A and B are shown apart, each in its own frame.
Chain A
């Protein structure tokens, strides 16, 4: 069945770069895209970035300058990098299959010194 699982560092220092990995199973990254969505504690959902089945990418306009999304199809992984982290970037980060029908459980990222 379709599964997505996020992994990442948990704690990142301010101004550093965050690297997150979404490992998928049950579908091919060349057939479906994957997005990243985040949710600060007690707040709403914010779409961050997507990589589509053909390899093209889209970014949240407000975050675009800080983001990079890529994939390794051989490993069924989607990678998200966000630089210049601030405390406001503390959030649960989810990956989801295109259309946002299927979601991972999320990984909590705390930005703190």
Chain B
């Protein structure tokens, strides 16, 4: 099974900061990588699919990049409403989630 290593597990940043979250797969996942945002008590919300495709309705400050085994979610200018936990998901072979990154305001 494919393993996903997500980092960091915790991130504290200020409004306006550029924030990056990383996921590393245990093997090439051919850009089959999604990013989700989850707020307390809610279901995960799809932000980015297949590495760099912005889901409809998601602000353009969110972007994704990567290839092979290494992938990144970037928030270009952090907003207060972005406080949440972020997960990556590989869907190249079955599904595997990263462990999550809890993002808080400094």
User: Is the beta-carbon distance between A103 and B43 smaller than 8 angstroms?
Assistant: yes
Knowing A47-B95, A50-B94, A50-B95, say if A100 contacts B46 (CB, 8 Å).
yes
Q: Which residues of B contact A60 (CB under 8 A)?
A: 94
Describe B's contact surface by its main secondary structure: loop
- B49 touches which one: A37, A101, A106 (CB < 8 A)? A101
A105 to B39, CA, bound (A): 12
Question: Once A and B bind, how many residue pairs between them come within 8 Å at the CB atom?
Answer: 43
Please tell me the size bucket of the interface on A.
Answer: 10 to 19
Contacting A at CB under 8 A, from B63-97, are: 87, 89, 91, 94-97
Q: Which residues of A contact B36 (CB under 8 A)?
A: 100
Interface size on B, residues (CB 8 A): 18
A103 to B87, CA, bound (A): 15
Write the B35-70 contact mask toward A (1 if CB under 8 angstroms, else 0). Answer: 010000001101001000001000000000000000
User: Is the beta-carbon distance between A100 and B43 smaller than 8 angstroms?
Assistant: no
Measured between C-beta atoms, what is the minimum distance from B29 to chain A in Å?
14
A44 to B3, CA, bound (A): 14
CB of B103 closer than 8 Å to a CB of A:
no
Closest Cβ neighbor of A47 among chain B residues: B95
User: Is the beta-carbon distance between B44 and A45 smaller than 8 angstroms?
Assistant: yes
Closest Cβ neighbor of B98 among chain A residues: A44
User: Is the beta-carbon distance between B43 and A106 smaller than 8 angstroms?
Assistant: yes
Measured between C-beta atoms, what is the minimum distance from B48 to chain A in Å?
11
A101 to B95, CA, bound (A): 13
Knowing A100-B46, A106-B43, say if A58 contacts B94 (CB, 8 Å).
yes
CB of B99 closer than 8 Å to a CB of A:
yes
Knowing A94-B43, A106-B43, say if A100 contacts B100 (CB, 8 Å).
no
Binding site for A on B (CB under 8 A): 1, 34, 36, 43-44, 46, 49, 55, 87, 89, 91, 94-100
